[in-house]
Amino acid sequence: MGGMDGLTAIVTGGASGIGLATALHLSGLGARVAVLDLHPDDVPAPLLGIRCDVTDRGSVTSAVDDAAAALGGIDVLVNNAGVGAIGTVADNDDAEWARVFDVNVTGMARVSAAALGYLRSARHPAIVNVCSIAATAGLPQRALYSASKGAVLSLTKAMAADHIREGIRVNCVSPGTADTPWIGRLLAQAADPEAERAALNARQPTGRMVSADEVAQAIGYLASPAAGSTTGISLAVDGGMQELRLRK
Ligand SMILES: NC(=O)c1ccc[n+]([C@@H]2O[C@H](COP(=O)([O-])OP(=O)(O)OC[C@H]3O[C@@H](n4cnc5c(N)ncnc54)[C@H](O)[C@@H]3O)[C@@H](O)[C@H]2O)c1
């Protein structure tokens, strides 16, 4: 089949967008895959949907244990579940700051902690976190979201250092704007959705949004034994948005 025959993987937030594309891609590479999501019933076969709220430690622990029992262990964890936030530093109250960090940052730590015991006894253990271009480029109206993704980048490097001696690799991917249901919801709120879509396309030097499948391919590489010497990095999947400076 592919590069992940015989391996097992869990993908948080895998019922939609980047997470769903990733779960299907890992499955296509030969892995047995469980999706941990608030909406597990949306998940198509052969993926195994398990209800999980990454903000609730009890829910995370039982979902990770259930996934490991059903799959026969956990080789790969993809920490993808995340939520957005719009506005400047003045536009979100303390409760919203706490909510977004709880999902986007502490959620990754909770799921990783719950999976560590299984990863330690896996043959090819790897964690891939889903970060964002917002971690490294200043985007307008994204103060809270960017701060949370900056934390994901730092967390990725710290986890990579902590667990390298246990053989566990930890990396992240940093997508540019990816055409997922999330962006659909964002466009629906815009005064002029078509103009907003054109602006989001133009922000990538490629002139278009990133696809969920392109992010899934990058995650699949970092998660696979083929990336055995790669840890502590952020792989950009951003149409050149971070690194290129084009002339008009
Ligand atoms: N779409 C983009 O432009 C883009 C760009 C860069 C990074 N990202 C990141 O990619 C990831 C996925 O984004 P997407 O665009 O596919 O979004 P999406 O909204 O299509 O999917 C997010 C999934 O996460 C799940 N989820 C949300 N809160 C959860 C919780 N508390 N517990 C469990 N599951 C939960 C949702 O149910 C949903 O299935 C996020 O971490 C996001 O920050 C997205």
- Summarised one tens digit per residue, pLDDT across range 20-76 is 999 999 999 999 999 999 999 989 999 999 999 999 999 999 999 999 999 999 999
Best residue for ligand 1 mutational test, from 18, 80, 173 (most atoms within 8 Å of Cβ): 18
151 lines ligand 1 (CB under 6 A): no
Best residue for ligand 1 mutational test, from 182, 208, 241 (most atoms within 8 Å of Cβ): 182
Longest dimension (CA), the chain: 55
Cα 229 to averaged position of ligand 1 atoms, centre (Å): 28
95 Rama sector, left if φ>0, alpha if ψ -120 to 50, beta otherwise: alpha
Say how far apart CA 27 and CA 65 lie, in whole Å. Answer: 20
Write the CB contacts of 88 (distance below 8 Å, at least 6 apart in sequence).
141, 143
Cβ contact 227:171 at 8 Å: yes
Residue whose C-alpha is closest to residue 150's, from 212, 109, 101: 101
Cα 180 to averaged position of ligand 1 atoms, centre (Å): 9
pLDDT means over runs of 10, the chain (248 residues):
91 98 98 98 96 98 98 98 97 98 99 98 98 98 98 99 98 98 93 96 97 98 98 98 93
The pLDDT of residue 157 is 98
The pLDDT of residue 97 is 98
Cα 38 to averaged position of ligand 1 atoms, centre (Å): 11
Residue 124: both structure tokens together:
């090819």
The pLDDT of residue 42 is 87
The pLDDT of residue 248 is 79
The pLDDT of residue 1 is 58
Whether residue 221 lies in the annotated active site: no
170 lines ligand 1 (CB under 6 A): no
**Domains, the chain, with CATH or none:** 8-175+213-234 (3.40.50.720), 177-209 (no CATH)
Q: At which residue do the structure tokens 């930890």 appear?
A: 170
- Closest ligand 1 atom to residue 15 Cα is 39
